[in-house]
Structure 1
Amino acid sequence: MSALEVYGEFHDDIQVIFRSRLVTQVLLALGSEKRSLSTLRDITGSSSQALIPKIRQLEALQYVEQVRDGYTLTPIGRLVEREIERLVTMVGVIERHKDFWAAHDIESIPRRFLNELHDLYDAEVIRDVEEDVFAVYRVFGAIIESASWIHGVSSIMSPVHAGAIREAALQGKPVELVVSQELAGKLVEEPYRTMLESLRGHAGFGLYVAASPVRLGMAVTDGFVSLGLYRRDTGTYDTATDLVSTDAAAIAWGERVFQHYRATADRLHLPSM
C-alpha cells in the first residue's frame, strides 16, 4: 500500500497530529520524559482548558497515557513521536538554510546520510562576498590549523588547499583523505605529485581512492565539519560557499560520511618517477 493510500485510509487520525500545534507540541514535549500538566502549559504557552482536550485526543489514539504526576507516551506513541521529531528537525534544517540546500546538488550526498541531514541544523553557511572574497578559504585554513586530526572526502582540489593539508601532515597531525577516481588521476601529476612525494612514507598520512562516485568536498576534524557541494544550475563545484559546523552531532555526521567512503576505498600509490 502506498503512502497516499495509507493517508486516505487514516486521514482523520493523521490530521489530529498535524492540524493542531498543541497536539504536535505535546508529543514532542513527551518525547524526552514524563511531563506534568503545569510543565506542558509552560512549554506550549497554553492554558489547561486548551491543553486537556488535545491530550484526550492523544489518549484516544493510545499515544499518550496519564501516570502519577503527569503524562507520558505509550510505546506506540514513542514510535510516532520519533518520526514526527525527525520530520520537524528535517524541515527545520532545510528552512534554516533553504538557499544553500535548494541551490546545490544534495543528491550527491549518499541517501542514508541525506536522511540524517537534521544533524546539521546548527551549521552556518560561509560565503565569499565582496567584503571578504576569501571567506571560505580563510575558514578552511582555520579549521585545518586548529585540528588535531583531519579526515576528508573530495572530488576537487587546489594547490592552496593541498598545501595547507600537506603542512598539517608534516606537523604530525593524522590526515586521511578519500578522493574521487577522477581527482586521483590529477593528484599524480604536478603540482600535486611533488607535494605527495614529500609525504611518501610519512606516518599518519593516508590517501585513498573511493570505490563509488564522489561529488562533494568535505573536511572533518575533532572540532569542525565543513561541507561543499556542486551547484545545480551550472553542475560545477561551488568554491564560494561552504556549510560549516562545530556542533558535535554535525561532526559525527561528517565522520560517518567519511567512514562510508573510507570503508571501500583503496590506497593511492604514486607511480615511480
Structure 2
Amino acid sequence: MNGFEIYKKMDDDVQAIYRSRILTEILLSLNEGSRKLSQLREITGSTSQALIPKLRKLEADHLIETKEHEYFLTQTGKIVASGIADSFVTFWTINKFKHFWLRHYLEGIPSPLLKEIGCLYESEVLKNRGMKILNVYNNQLRMLKEADHIYGISSVVTKGYADSISERVKEGISIELIVPFHVAEELKQSPYVEKLAALKSYKNFKLMLMNEDIKVGLIVTDKRLSLNLYKKEGVEYDISTGLFSSDSKAIEWGERLFWYCKGKADFTKFQ
C-alpha cells in the first residue's frame, strides 16, 4: 500500500488534524512540552469552550493524556506530533530557499539527506554580486581559518583552498576531505601535488577518493556549514551561490552528508 492509498483510508483522521488550526497548534505546542489549559488558551488564542472539544478528541484518539491538570503527548502522540512538526519545517525550508533549490541540481544530495532537508531551515543564501564578487569564497576561507576541525567534499579545487587547508593541517587541525575523480586528477598536477606531498606525514589529514562523481560541495566544521551545488543541469558547479549556517541542526546534517559519502570513499589511493 502506497502513501496515497493510506491517506485515502485515513482521510478523516489525517485531514481533521491538518484542517483544524487548533488541533495542529495543540499537537505542536505539546511537542515542546506539557501545557496547562490556560497556557493552551494563550498559545492558540482560543477560548476554553473551543479548546476542550479538541482536547477530548485527541484524548479519544490516544494522542494526548492529562495528569494533574496538565496535558501531555502519549508515546504515539509524540510520533504524530513530531511527524507534523517535521513536515512543516520541511515545507518551510523548501519555500524559504525555493529559488536556491529550483536553480540547482538536487540529485547530488543523497535521498536520505534530502528527506532531512528541513534541518537547514536556519540558514542563509550568500551570493557573489556587486562589489562582493568573492563573497562565497571569502566566507568559506573564513570558515576554514576559524575551525577546530574540518570535513569537506570538494567538487572544485583552488590555490586559495589548498593553501588554507595546508596551513590548518600544519597547525594540528583535524581535516578530512573527499574528492571525486576529476578533482583527484587536478591534484596530481602542480602546485597541488607538491602541497599534498608536504602533508603526507601528518596524521591529522585524510584525503579520500569518491568512487562516483560528487555533485555537491561541502565544508562542515565545528562552527559552520557551507553547501554548494551544481547548477540545474548538473554540469556546471556553482561557485557563486552557497547555503551557509551556524545552526547546530544544519551542522549535524552536514556531518551526516559527509559520513554518508565517506562510507563510499577510498583513502588508500592517496597514502
Which TM bucket (shorter chain)?
over 0.9
Q: Deviation of residue 28 (structure 1)? A: 0.9
Pick which of 174-183 and 157-166 moved more: 157-166
Indicate the residue corresponding to 1:15 in structure 2: 15
Per-residue displacement from partner, 1:178-198 (whole Å, max 9, x unpaired)?
111222122112232122122
Correspondence for 2:149: 149
* Count of aligned pairs between the two proteins: 271
Q: How does 1:101-120 map to 2 (within 5 A)?
A: 101-120=101-120
Name the CA distance, whole Å, in 1 between partners of 2:206 and 2:152: 10
Q: How large is the RMSD of aligned CA atoms in angstroms? A: 1.8
**Corresponding position: 1:63 with 2:81:** no
Greater shift in the superposed pair: 192-201 or 130-139: 192-201
Cα distance in 1 for partners of 2:207, 2:14 equals: 50
8 Å CA contact 1:31, 1:82 repeated in 2: yes
Partner Cα distance (1:270, 1:247) in 2: 33
2:140 corresponding residue in structure 1: 140
Aligned to 2:248: 248
- 1:17-96 matches, cutoff 5 A: 17-96=17-96
Q: Structure 2 stretches of 5 or more lacking a match?
A: none
CA deviation string 1:104-131 (max 9, x = no partner): 1122111111122121111111111113
Whole-Å Cα distance in 1 between the matches of residues 151 and 217 of structure 2? Answer: 11
TM-score, length-normalised on structure 2?
0.93
Secondary structure of the residue that 2:214 maps to in structure 1? Answer: coil
Pairwise CA distance, 1:243: 0.8
State the AA in 1 paired with 2:247. D
Deviation beyond 6 Å, 4+ runs, structure 1: none
Alignment of 1:202-213 (within 5 A): 202-213=202-213
- Give me the whole-angstrom Cα distance separating, in 1, the residues matched to 2:6 and 2:260: 34
2:177 — aligned with what?
177
Q: How far apart, CA to CA, are the structure 2 residues paired with 1:45 and 1:236? A: 50
Contact kept, 8 Å, 2:103 with 2:232, in 1: the verdict is yes
Q: Secondary structure at the match of 2:32?
A: coil
Using a 3 Å threshold, how does the CA distance of structure 1 residues 96 and 189 change in structure 2: closer, same or farther? Answer: same
Q: Secondary structure of 2:235's partner?
A: coil
Question: What amino acid is aligned across from residue 230 of structure 1 in structure 2?
Answer: Y
TM-score if structure 1 supplies the norm length?
0.92
Gapped regions of structure 1 (runs ≥ 5): none
Rounded Cα–Cα distance in structure 2 between residues aligned with 1:107 and 1:81:
29
Shift of 1:269: 4.2
Segment of structure 1 superposing worse, 130-139 or 156-165: 156-165
Residue type matched to 2:168 in 1? A
The percentage of aligned residue pairs carrying the same residue is 37
Inter-partner Cα distance in structure 2 for 1:99 and 1:57: 40
Aligned to 1:162: 162
Contact 2:180 2:214 in 1 (8 A): yes
Counterparts of 1:143 and 1:38 in 2: how far apart (Å)?
A: 46
Maintained 8 Å contact 2:153/2:178:
yes
1:165 partner amino acid: I
Give SS of 2:35's match.
coil
Deviations 1:72-124 (A, max 9, x none): 22232222112111101111211221211222112211111112212111111
CA contact (8 A) 1:63 1:76 kept: yes
Cα deviation, residue 37, structure 1 = 0.7
For the 8 Å contact 1:154–1:215, the answer to whether it is kept is no
Instruction: Say which SS state the counterpart of residue 199 (structure 2) adopts.
Output: coil
**How many angstroms does 1:174 deviate by?**
1.7
CA distance in 2, matches of 1:74, 1:146: 44
Instruction: Give 3-state SS (helix, strand or coil) of 2:213's partner.
Output: coil
Deviations 1:145-168 (A, max 9, x none): 101121111222222222222222
SS in 2 for 1:84: helix
